[in-house]
Structure 1
């Protein structure tokens, strides 16, 4: 029997005033200044820790998420929290909900060096896993020897490396990235991909990665809130049967995958976190047949508004 995957709290919705998760707006403070968001973030982190969650996932592009997390770790004194972060996107939203652009991606040796320095300055030895943020098959990373050698140097220093994926060809990215070697050793030990009952196309690739000993993180298990706010009828029926919210059912479908090692919750409030963590046992195939064509799924995601 496979062991149940860990939960991790992702701070994408808690480190900046705007994000694309549906159902987030009403969960946040009315005034999203830095201090209000810091307090909200710390409250959710406290609730997650009390519930037994010992993993937290952040990124350089999540506004002040690394700063908020560093302050929380320092003030609480927790030494058993496992932190993963990401580099590649830079936050450029200037703490505005109505910014024209909120983040900009660049996979270069210069950005990696700068952002790893920023992450390490804030979180130090807490960071045990560092992801390339939103790798795609056409990323310049694959042909950038200087960047690959720099990543290999960080790996050799004892920090585990991973990559996250986005877009309709996640499976192709997973396959290509796991073939990368630097100085005769596989570069990446972890992958973080989008899988939910509406977007299942990466599943065979993630199953192969897990079988090869790569740690598999699943993000966007609620399809950026779509499965919580406007779920398919089958998800609603199961939620009513189990006496939980549709979010718990959608995340239970992720936890039922035998290849999933870590399942991310993107909760924006204590109430959302508790709803996400509600225990539900599902058969792996109980929600089969709901998936959309990947191109349509990702077009819908791209059209979600930042608010």
Structure 2
């Protein structure tokens, strides 16, 4: 496996085609299938920081240069910041993205009633941008609205948009991540936002995978207009891996294993290869929380996706309402 690289947007920096997302590495509880197993149910803060830094070291050695965190990912920013401090003599610098808009509320408990609270107000932005700088030891290279939606009205909040424009003027790229059935509509609204004649958003991060393809036309439009496109949840929080029991039990899901065997790869690498082949995608995030899974994910770079795989696996696609309803039912573990 040899890492491949991409330009993040029309005039963006050079980044690795696969990035490492820290959603599953910064907190004890997350919805990925098998998360407890990945962490060996050891939720001691020091142990989790050590594990996260080991994963970051491995990712770096494998050529990953894009790292994605968020204020709501527990201590992900702090873990990443500590790792960056230990590597400050690196000649090559990583690209660091983070997000604001959710506050972590689980208090390091896996079975918390509420894991995070969403608030896209100016007060939260002002507070969290300072916390992000402190945790990372620097400004992020990219700061994103976390799960921007029409309902939160963040794209109509002039004060928030102008504050983000101020960050942009200081060299921070501005982005938004998307979730839910209205990803495409939200993105189209975001593309129209300009502050003093300058488009505000540089990057969009969206959910796109073999099951949820509805945002593809909007992402293509964003890519064509010069935005960087980052894909999250390419493995559908583990549903597109061997950990999904449906892959072993249901005929339509077994098609994944059949095609993976035909192309001499794993189910997770096959699913990632589908996303990597899309012309509008710059970066695909791996959410791996153990070394073997990360190594398996990166073999996707060598998979030669073909028309047979597209045709055979197309029936797996779900309508957005069904996809997001199933995601909502996933257990924190």
Q: Structure 1 length normalisation: TM-score?
A: 0.96
Partner of 1:59: 70
Secondary structure in 1 matching 2:117: strand
User: Residue deviations 1:28-86, cap 9 Å, x none?
Assistant: 13321111111111111111100000110000000000000011111123351110000
Q: Does 1:204 align with 2:205?
A: no
Pair 124,30 (structure 1): closer, same or farther in 2 beyond 3 Å: closer
Deviation at 1:288, TM superposition (A): 2.4
Give, in whole Å, the separation in 1 of the partners of 2:145 and 2:44: 29
Pair 3,99 (structure 1): closer, same or farther in 2 beyond 3 Å: closer
Q: Does 1:268 align with 2:289?
A: yes
Moved more, 131-140 or 121-130: 121-130
Would the aligned equivalents of 1:131 and 1:163 in 2 still touch at CA under 8 Å? yes
1:128-147 mapped onto 2 (5 Å cutoff): 128-147=141-160
Would the aligned equivalents of 2:212 and 2:323 in 1 still touch at CA under 8 Å? yes
Would the aligned equivalents of 2:20 and 2:286 in 1 still touch at CA under 8 Å? yes
Would the aligned equivalents of 2:81 and 2:137 in 1 still touch at CA under 8 Å? no
Q: Does 1:259 align with 2:280?
A: yes
Deviation at 1:149, TM superposition (A): 1.2
Within the candidate set 33, 40, 44, 1:33 is matched to 44
Partner of 2:326: 300
Aligned residues: 306
Give, in whole Å, the separation in 2 of the partners of 1:249 and 1:213: 28
Partner of 2:178: 165
User: Residue deviations 1:195-249, cap 9 Å, x none?
Assistant: 0000000000001100111000000000010011224222111222233321111
Give, in whole Å, the separation in 2 of the partners of 1:164 and 1:158: 19
Q: Give the CA RMSD over aligned residues.
A: 1.6
Q: Structure 2 length normalisation: TM-score?
A: 0.89
Moved more, 83-92 or 132-141: 132-141
Q: Does 1:290 align with 2:311?
A: no
Deviation at 1:270, TM superposition (A): 0.7
Ranges in structure 1 where 5+ consecutive residues have no aligned partner: none
Within the candidate set 101, 110, 113, 2:123 is matched to 110
Deviation at 1:142, TM superposition (A): 2.2
Secondary structure in 2 matching 1:227: coil
Give, in whole Å, the separation in 2 of the partners of 1:289 and 1:178: 31
Deviation at 1:23, TM superposition (A): 2.5
Moved more, 81-90 or 114-123: 114-123
Would the aligned equivalents of 2:230 and 2:283 in 1 still touch at CA under 8 Å? yes
Secondary structure in 2 matching 1:80: coil
Give, in whole Å, the separation in 1 of the partners of 2:49 and 2:136: 16
Give, in whole Å, the separation in 2 of the partners of 1:281 and 1:43: 30
Partner of 2:257: 236
Would the aligned equivalents of 1:256 and 1:283 in 2 still touch at CA under 8 Å? no
